[in-house]
Chain A
Amino acid sequence: GAGVSQSPRYKVAKRGQDVALRCDPISGHVSLFWYQQALGQGPEFLTYFQNEAQLDKSGLPSDRFFAERPEGSVSTLKIQRTQQEDSAVYLCASSLPRFTAGELFFGEGSRLTVL
C-alpha cells in the first residue's frame, strides 16, 4: 500500500492475555519506530529498528513488551500478560534512514483496551 498500515485497528484484551500488533511500513523505508500514545498525551517512544536491527529499545516499559522485525520489513509489537495500564494507541512510523526525507510517516495506530 501507499502508507504505513497497522493491524488490528482495535483490540480488546482481558488482563493477562497476550497481544500482537502488526506494522507494515512503506516499501523501501529502512527505519521503523513504535510509539505508545495514552489518551490526551503525546506519543512516547518505545523502540526503533534500522532494517532488521533493533537499535534502541530504551522506551519499552517492561520486559512484557517485545518487538521484532525479522526480515527488515514488517514489524510486530508483542505485549505479554497485558495490564490495564497498557491501554493506549500504539503507533508505528517508518522513514528513510536518518531523516533524509525529513519526516516520519505514521500509521493510524492500533488502539488497545485492556479490561
Chain B
Amino acid sequence: AQKVTQAQTEISVVEKEDVTLDCVYETRDTTYYLFWYKQPPSGELVFLIRRNSFDEQNEISGRYSWNFQKSTSSFNFTITASQVVDSAVYFCALANRDDKIIFGKGTRLHILP
C-alpha cells in the first residue's frame, strides 16, 4: 500500500527563521514520484517540486530546498529565511506509474511577523 505521512500538523515560526517540513512515504514500487504542493488561503494547490525515485540529488530553488533520502523514505522540505507569504498548508505527495497521486494530510505553516 502507498502512504504519505506528514507528522507535523501545524508549525509556527517567526519570520526569517528556517523551517523544515517532514515527509515520510511508503511504497512497494521501485519507480515512483514525490511531490510537494502549497495550498495558500485561496485554496488552489500550487505545484512546487517533483522528484523521481532514481534521482536522489537534493534540490535548491531560491529559499526552498528538498532533501530526498531513500534510505529513510523521506522527502523533507526546508524554507530558509521564511517570509509571511510562505504561510500556507504544504502537502507532500506520492505517485507510482499509474498516475494516481496520494497526498499526505498536510502541514499548516504559520510565519509570524
A binding-site residues for B, Cβ under 8 Å: 31, 33, 35, 40-45, 48, 55-56, 58-59, 89, 91, 93, 98-99, 102-109
Contacts and interface: CB of A to CB of B under 8 A. Distances in A.
Nearest to B51: A102
Contacts, number: 56
Contacts of A58: 100
Interface in B38-57: 42-47, 50
A108 B50 contact: no
B44 A106 contact: yes
Given A48-B99, A58-B100, A107-B44, 16 more contacts: A31-B99, A33-B100, A42-B104, A42-B105, A45-B102, A56-B98, A56-B99, A89-B43, A93-B45, A99-B33, A99-B50, A99-B99, A104-B47, A104-B101, A106-B46, A108-B42
Interface string B85-113: 00000010001001111111110000000
